[in-house]
């Protein structure tokens, strides 16, 4: 699903969720999505492609967003390439104010939607300012490069992960989700070691990034976001090491950001919100 890169000046906002967000209490993250999409005028297109339980998952989120005050919630059931190239399906995105990708398998999203009519419609919507949100697998696909799979072993290694092209809605970033809960810092370090220019962003469960068109994000939710900046790395053995050798990586910059903090992706600077 690696389409053309979006520039911040002509795109909407993103809400990128680490998974397992609160759906029964205050629903801080999902409530924020509805507000960003227009509140009581929100028209939400819910994409269930990533999950193998589209009916159950779609109905769950439809009920939540309706209870949170959205004007309409349409479930876009795109289960295969034929459906993804159905122009009737793509029309669901022409009038929406918010698009939400559920969790599941991120490769289902890219392999089914990539280059399709639905993909093109989603990109048009984003360019006109529609907010796009995704949780778990729906978060992983937001960046140019996404982590498809990888071990959360005790020692970071070259073999820790496999990566593929994502949607490219957020440039020069790679996202990992369920971050602290599944001990994924080692595989994110391996991703940054392979390309130090890319920021590694690990999002805990019930936590999200709210990314503005200016490429500044704020953290919301109950846990934290980890940012790994490898731009100033002095030494790495990733190019000469064997597949299962331990990774060497020096002078890595790391930030831990809870709610109330944010990060400027252009300047690579964290900040505390006033």
pLDDT of residue 5: 43
Which residue from 40, 48, 93 is spatially nearest to 67, judged by alpha carbons?
40
pLDDT in tens, 86-97: 998 899 999 999
- Cα distances (angstroms) measured from residue 221 to each of 39, 181, 205, 267: 19, 15, 9, 24
Report percent pLDDT > 70 for the chain: 94
Determine the Cα–Cα distance for residues 219 and 184; give it in Å rounded to an integer: 19
pLDDT of residue 156: 73
pLDDT over 80 at 4, yes or no: no
pLDDT over 50 at 6, yes or no: no
Task: Tell me if residue 136 is catalytic.
Answer: yes
pLDDT over 50 at 3, yes or no: no
Q: Which residues pair with 163 in a beta bridge?
A: 147
- Band of pLDDT at residue 244, cut at 50, 70 and 90: confident
Query: What is the pLDDT averaged over residues 14-42?
Result: 98
pLDDT of residue 8: 40
Q: What is the mean pLDDT of the chain?
A: 92
Q: 151 near 160, Cβ under 8 Å?
A: yes
Of the residues 136, 143, 218, 236, only one is catalytic, namely 136
Query: What is the pLDDT averaged over residues 4-14?
Result: 61
Beta strands in 117-232 (DSSP E): 131-135, 145-150, 161-165, 173-177, 199-203, 207-211, 216-221, 224-229
Query: What is the pLDDT averaged over residues 232-237?
Result: 93
Q: Is the dihedral of CA 157, 196, 219, 32 positive or negative?
A: negative
pLDDT of residue 1: 56
Which helix (DSSP H) or strand (DSSP E) does residue 262 occupy? strand 261-264
- Band of pLDDT at residue 7, cut at 50, 70 and 90: very low
Of the residues 13, 116, 178, 218, only one is catalytic, namely 178
pLDDT in tens, 191-218: 999 899 999 999 999 999 999 999 999 9
Query: What is the pLDDT averaged over residues 23-39?
Result: 98
pLDDT of residue 158: 64
- Band of pLDDT at residue 245, cut at 50, 70 and 90: confident
Q: Which residues pair with 258 in a beta bridge?
A: 224
Q: How many CB atoms lie within 10 A of CB 126?
A: 21
Which helix (DSSP H) or strand (DSSP E) does residue 192 occupy? helix 185-194
* Global confidence as pTM: 0.93
Determine the Cα–Cα distance for residues 71 and 69; give it in Å rounded to an integer: 6
pLDDT over 60 at 59, yes or no: yes
Residue scoring higher pLDDT (46 or 242): 46
- Band of pLDDT at residue 48, cut at 50, 70 and 90: very high
Of the residues 21, 92, 117, 205, only one is catalytic, namely 205
Residue 180 CA to chain centroid, in angstroms?
16
Three-point CA angle 176, 177, 183, nearest 5°: 85
- Band of pLDDT at residue 56, cut at 50, 70 and 90: very high
**Number of Cα atoms under 13 Å in the Cβ half of residue 70:** 27
Residue scoring higher pLDDT (139 or 186): 139
């Amino acid at each position: 699903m690696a389409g053309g890169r979006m520039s911040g000046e002509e795109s909407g906002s993103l809400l990128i969720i680490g998974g397992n967000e609160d759906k029964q209490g205050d629903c801080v993250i999902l409530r924020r999505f509805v507000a960003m999409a227009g509140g009581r005028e929100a028209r939400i297109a819910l994409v269930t492609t990533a999950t193998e339980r589209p009916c159950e998952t779609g109905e769950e989120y439809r009920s939540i967003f309706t209870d949170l005050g959205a004007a309409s919630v349409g479930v876009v059931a795109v289960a295969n390439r034929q459906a993804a190239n159905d122009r009737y399906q793509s029309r669901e995105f022409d009038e929406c104010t918010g698009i939400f990708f559920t969790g599941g398998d991120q490769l289902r999203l890219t392999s089914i939607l990539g280059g399709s009519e639905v993909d093109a419609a989603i990109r048009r919507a984003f360019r006109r300012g529609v907010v796009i949100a995704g949780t778990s697998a729906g978060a992983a696909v937001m960046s140019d490069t996404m982590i498809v799979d990888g071990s959360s072993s005790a020692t970071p290694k070259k073999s820790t992960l496999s990566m593929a092209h994502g949607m490219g809605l957020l440039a020069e970033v790679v996202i990992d989700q369920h971050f602290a809960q599944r001990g994924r810092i080692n595989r994110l370090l391996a991703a940054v070691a392979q390309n130090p220019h890319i920021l590694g962003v690990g999002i805990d469960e019930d936590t999200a990034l709210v990314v503005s068109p200016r490429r500044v994000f704020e953290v919301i939710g109950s846990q934290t976001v980890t940012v790994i900046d490898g731009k100033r790395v002095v030494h790495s053995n990733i190019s000469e090491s064997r597949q299962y050798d331990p990774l060497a990586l020096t002078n890595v910059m790391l930030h831990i950001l809870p709610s109330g903090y944010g990060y400027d992706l252009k300047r690579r600077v964290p900040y505390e919100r006033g």
